[in-house]
Structures are given as C-alpha cells and as structure tokens.
Structure 1
C-alpha cells in the first residue's frame, strides 16, 4: 500500500491548525511547524513533497533553489497575495505554485470599515478613558461618514465590497484602478478618476491593491502633498504600498489627519508572533505605535471562521489537484 503524501506546513498558527486538520480529512501526512520559510529553514522541507506557506514566508529565488534541491515540487499559499514568492524562478525550477484568492473578501472589507469607524469615532481612546472613569468627550469628536467622499484605490474583489458598504453609509465613492469595471461603477453610482484626482478630492482613502512594482511606495510624500490635511488613510492591502517614513513625517506635521492599517511595511517575522517579552528593535514601528492618530492591527483582517475554513479547504483543493495531475483553478501562471 502506497504511503500518504507528506506535506510540510510552514508558519503554522495554533488558530488555523484545527481548520487545516478538518480540511485534510486524514488524507495526507501533515507536519506543522511554527517557523517561517527562509533560506535557513528550507532544509526542514527535506523528505516532503509539498509545502504550504503564508504571506510572511520567504519565497525568494535563493530559497526556492534550496527547496528544489530538497525535493519540493509544489507550493500552495494560504494567502491571496503572492508578492513574497518569485514566480519566474519557481517556473524555471519546475515548482508549481497555487494561491488562495477567494477565501473571504468580505472579511477583509469589513475589517477595513471597522478600522475606519474605530479611528474616526476614537473608540480605542474612548475605551481607555472609560476604563479610567474619564467620561469626558473632549478628545472623542469624529465626523459623519454620510456625504463624505471616499476614494478607493483598487476595485478588485475586496475593493468592490468596501465600495458597496460605503455606498450604504451614504458616502460619495470615487475610485481608481488600472482595470476599471464600468458596469459595477454604474450600478453603484461610483466614479472612476485618476489617482491624483482621488487624492485631491477624498476625505477618506482606502488602499486595496496588490503589492507589485507599480504599487510599491505608491503612497509617498509627493502623493500625500495632493491630499487634504483632514484625510484619513486606511490600508488593508500591503504595508509597502505606503512608504512608512514619509507617512510618519506627514502624521507628525499634521499633513494628514490619521492612518489605520492591518499591515506594516516591515511586518515579516513580527506579525503573527507574541513579542511582548522580546520587544522588537524597530524604530519606525515604535513611532507608529506612539502616534495618537494611528490605529494598527496585526494583519488580522482575514481572521474569521469563514475565511479560515475557506483557506484550509482551498489549500487542500490545490494539493489534491497537483497530486492528481490536474490544473488547479488557483495555479499561478507566469508570463
């Protein structure tokens, strides 16, 4: 009898393992390790056929070459984004790669709205004051979202849901995207504008684009200068969409009003881990933490029961397809 295929799960988190176990249905032999995939931990994949990685794992050319030497033939990502893996190298090495694109755009979109509401209505400050029996409203003034102009940069699956929710709030929604969806825009009374126009007109800016060579450091000093001083920026995309140093300077000098994000430019090896007893030496992160007009969460937007179920099921769907020599609908093809 043929032994079950062996799969190594990198960056395995305690909260996701039960979902992965259920989705596996005892078909494959799984090993879960908390370590991130790097060039130093690639050797842990020796003896396995397939690995699964997360958004913080390192899929650079050097790491992929090592994985090839250790016998890895397939990589499935437990994330929609795949900017952390060098696809051209994977193709050259003959390593198949698939991602998890549709696990729950609603989870991400709803978290974006939660960040906006919490930031605008000063919920974190209010709760801290309340715990100290301070019931003053002096520091808790926000604004109505109704009738405000919200600019959405990126109208993919997540961006569209964000737009729909904001239309429900009575916001005027404008958007920019390299692939405009005119039918969606017409149905929801959304106007596509240039990036520059969006920055000039928006009271709130939502970032919902993938990280690539075009969007890397998209939000920088030059673009911030076009924005209203009262603007709120909400980032649920990737940390490096924003040039953190430029952002901090803008916040310090009141060039923009506030920033909320579920991502951070240098979050690798920080987010998803408890560093309360070994505080990281990261001056940029510390400055963001110290700023009163910043609200950060640790890449938790995807953390819903529905999303984790879909991620686990899609992970094993991708593996099943590879094992059966079928093309997964999530396989990442390369130019």
Structure 2
C-alpha cells in the first residue's frame, strides 16, 4: 500500500470539478484508492462520495492506493492534486438547457454544477423532461448551450432555431452524433461536443450479458421456475468455448467485447474500416473481410458507428449480409439500431436463421427509448414484431447504464462545457462536418 497526504489550499475546498477529475482518474486505475478526511472515507472512484467528505481549505486529505499500480497511482493523483486542485481564474456562468432529463441525470449533473466560482464548472442547468425536437427547440431560447442525448433530434430546422435563440454549443452526453446536422451547426457557428468514450466496459459487458441470455434462454428459464416448472424443454443453448466470435467495429467497445469473448475461449476475428494492427500484434484478433467474418462467425457483435451515405454503415446487416451467415448464428447489437435492417432481420427470424439474437438498440426504437409504454398496445410496430420471437432478447438502450458510465458521461460533458466556456480546444470531443 502507498500513501500520501495533501493539505487543501483552494479557498473553495474540494469542489465538484477536482472531485470529478479524481474519480475519473481512479476509475482507470487497477489499484483501490481510498480518500480520508476528518474521519470520513470515500472510494477514490466515486465522485459523490468524494464530495460528501466536505473537504475545506486547510483540511488534510489522506490518500491510499493498494494494488498492482499503486506507486504509479499515487504519482498520478499527486500530480492531479498539485494542478487541478489549486485556485483557478473565474469565468462567466454558462447557461445550459438540458433536454430529456431523467432522475439519474440529476444525480450527477446537479452535484457537478452546484458550485460557482474560480475553477468550477460554472454552469447553470435548466432541466427539461421533454426531448429536443422541432416542437421543443424554442425552450432553449436565451441559453448558451443545450445538452442532449441519443434520442433527441437536432436536424437543420432545430439547429437553426437554436442558433436564432442564442445557443452556441450543443453538448451530446453520449458518443453518437448522427442525430445532429453537423453541416447546419457549422453554418450557424455552433460547436458540437460529444463524450467519445465513457465506459466501453459497460457496453461490452451488457452485449455479452444479453446474448448469453438469448443463447441460454434465461428469461424463459426464470419464468418457468417462477411457475414451479423445472423442465428443461425449450432451454437448449450452445457453448461459446471454441466458437468463432466476429467483432464488427474494433474501437474501444469492440476491443472490450473481443477480450470478453477471448476469455470465454473463443477465436476472435474482426472487421473494421480502419484496422488496428496493435490488436493483431497482441494476439487478440485477426482481421478479415466483411464477407469472411459473416461466413465464419458463430457469434457476431456490432460495435461500429452509424455512418450514413455511400460506403457507410447504415444497414450494415441487411438481407444479403444475413444470407452469408451460418445457420444458427448468434447476433448482438449494442451500437446503433440502423446498423441492422429490421425488416431483413424479422424475415430471417421467421425462417429460423438465428439461434439467438440480442438487441439493446434496433431500428424503430425511438418512440420507446426511456419511455414507459406499459399501458399502451404496440400493435404492429417493429418492437411488437421482434417480441414475437422466443430466441430474441430486447433491452431498452441501457448498455451504457452503469454508475461508472453515468459518472464519466457527466464529467466529460461538463469538461466539454468548461473548455468551451474558457475558450479551450475541445479536442477529440468536438464533432465537425466533413
């Protein structure tokens, strides 16, 4: 175990921004970090616990790290303390209209923005429960920025109305940005910033969880046992060990999924428009053509971005792609719904093509995302038709939904807001028109 102590010298104490940066640093460490102050302790990777310490100027923070990288961990934390924990210049407050608000959004964003003053995020957030759409865009009038999610809409009409109302920044609290007209934003002099990576582990782990639920028929098994039915009929699955896993899109999330599949004893093959030779060199996967992956894989997991137009990834999995797959293949999508042609998928499911399909996202999901429709009949919607198949599992766009991911989304989003407000480069977070 390595330890060190730090006396808080910032007049504002340990406010939200340094606490957030410390938590995000610790999330990526192998060592367990504990922070103690005035008899109270906090896990170093939990921003809410760090803030609950209430550390003021003159208080002593006792930090310990225990694990494989404890020495490097303490060194990185000391560097952070001597940089971001010190007093900063004061800037004007950025007014943000926050659309599609849920209770869990407030948990983190409200804590991060409650402080105002030098070195803080200096943001005032107005929460709206409605999504951003052409009908609700007028609510952002008079705000400097809007904060939106995957199911909000920012086509040209909305972007132009935002600009007319004074908005200069669109903050995406997600990685995807296909719901924003970037060319319109450029023309309107509106910056667009996203969260390039929050918790790739969260998404990859969920993808494996739901494909295993579909493979081993866990939902059906649970319901049978609840009815005191202990028969195994209808529950037959397959081993993943010694099977071939095809990963389409080998960015951070795809890499995480590949490592999970490797842990199951699978042979991993990958397809990507921009192959990463380092993954080949370490022995994680072998790159193949799209057609070869479709033909060889027993399990296919989608992790590509949604790119429209010629040569893009829209309907990456269509009727032709499905026809090239093995019979009884398994397919999971935790990336973007329109990567799969829903009509082609349904037709293939009717023909018994798949052993198991698991979808956290799917074409036609927009009206359902984060909405309680339990009192409604879905009639002939894509959702209702997909739910007919006993070998298919649907979840509601929740792959990202872990404490670590929500914390990271809030922190990176507010860092983007701060960088914009202070005139700093948005770096990899900025989304630009081609």
Bin of the TM-score, shorter chain as denominator length: over 0.9
Counterpart of 2:189 (choices 94, 101, 104) is 94
Paired residues of 2:174 and 2:409 also in contact (CA < 8 A): yes
In structure 2, the partner of 1:250 is: 348
1:290 corresponds to 2:388: yes
- Following the alignment from structure 1 to structure 2, what is the Cα–Cα distance between the partners of residues 25 and 212? 37
- Following the alignment from structure 1 to structure 2, what is the Cα–Cα distance between the partners of residues 182 and 4? 44
When structure 1 is superposed on structure 2, of 325-334 and 155-164 the one drifting more is 325-334
Shift of 1:230: 0.8
In structure 1, the partner of 2:243 is: 148
Paired residues of 1:159 and 1:208 also in contact (CA < 8 A): yes
Paired residues of 2:211 and 2:356 also in contact (CA < 8 A): no
1:13 corresponds to 2:102: yes
In structure 1, the partner of 2:326 is: 228
Unaligned runs of 5+ in 1: none
- Following the alignment from structure 1 to structure 2, what is the Cα–Cα distance between the partners of residues 160 and 126? 31
Cα gap change, 1:282 to 1:98, in 2 (>3 Å): farther
Unaligned runs of 5+ in 2: 1-89, 116-121
Counterpart of 2:208 (choices 106, 113, 118) is 113
Shift of 1:268: 1.7
- Following the alignment from structure 1 to structure 2, what is the Cα–Cα distance between the partners of residues 189 and 94? 43
Per the normalisation by structure 2, the TM-score is: 0.75
- Following the alignment from structure 2 to structure 1, what is the Cα–Cα distance between the partners of residues 410 and 220? 36
In structure 1, the partner of 2:433 is: 334
Three-state SS of the structure 2 residue aligned to 1:111 is: helix
1:65 corresponds to 2:160: yes
Per the normalisation by structure 1, the TM-score is: 0.97
- Following the alignment from structure 2 to structure 1, what is the Cα–Cα distance between the partners of residues 430 and 256? 24
- The CA deviation string for residues 263-307 of structure 1, in whole angstroms up to 9 with x for no partner, is 021222321111112344552210101111110000001110000
1:190 corresponds to 2:285: yes
- Following the alignment from structure 1 to structure 2, what is the Cα–Cα distance between the partners of residues 65 and 280? 34
Shift of 1:5: 2.9
1:81 corresponds to 2:176: yes
In structure 1, the partner of 2:137 is: 42
1:321 corresponds to 2:410: no
In structure 1, the partner of 2:46 is: none
Paired residues of 1:167 and 1:188 also in contact (CA < 8 A): no
In structure 2, the partner of 1:177 is: 272
- Following the alignment from structure 2 to structure 1, what is the Cα–Cα distance between the partners of residues 110 and 145? 16
- Following the alignment from structure 1 to structure 2, what is the Cα–Cα distance between the partners of residues 78 and 289? 29
Counterpart of 1:4 (choices 93, 98, 116) is 93
Shift of 1:313: 0.8
- Following the alignment from structure 1 to structure 2, what is the Cα–Cα distance between the partners of residues 123 and 298? 17
Shift of 1:190: 1.3
- Following the alignment from structure 1 to structure 2, what is the Cα–Cα distance between the partners of residues 225 and 175? 19
Aligned positions of 1:22-37 closer than 5 A: 22-26=111-115, 27-37=122-132
Paired residues of 1:251 and 1:257 also in contact (CA < 8 A): no
Three-state SS of the structure 1 residue aligned to 2:324 is: coil
Paired residues of 1:220 and 1:246 also in contact (CA < 8 A): yes
- The CA deviation string for residues 153-188 of structure 1, in whole angstroms up to 9 with x for no partner, is 000000001001111111011110011111212313
Counterpart of 1:277 (choices 366, 372, 375) is 375
How many residue pairs get aligned? The number is 335
When structure 1 is superposed on structure 2, of 275-284 and 219-228 the one drifting more is 275-284
Shift of 1:334: 3.1
When structure 1 is superposed on structure 2, of 321-330 and 243-252 the one drifting more is 321-330
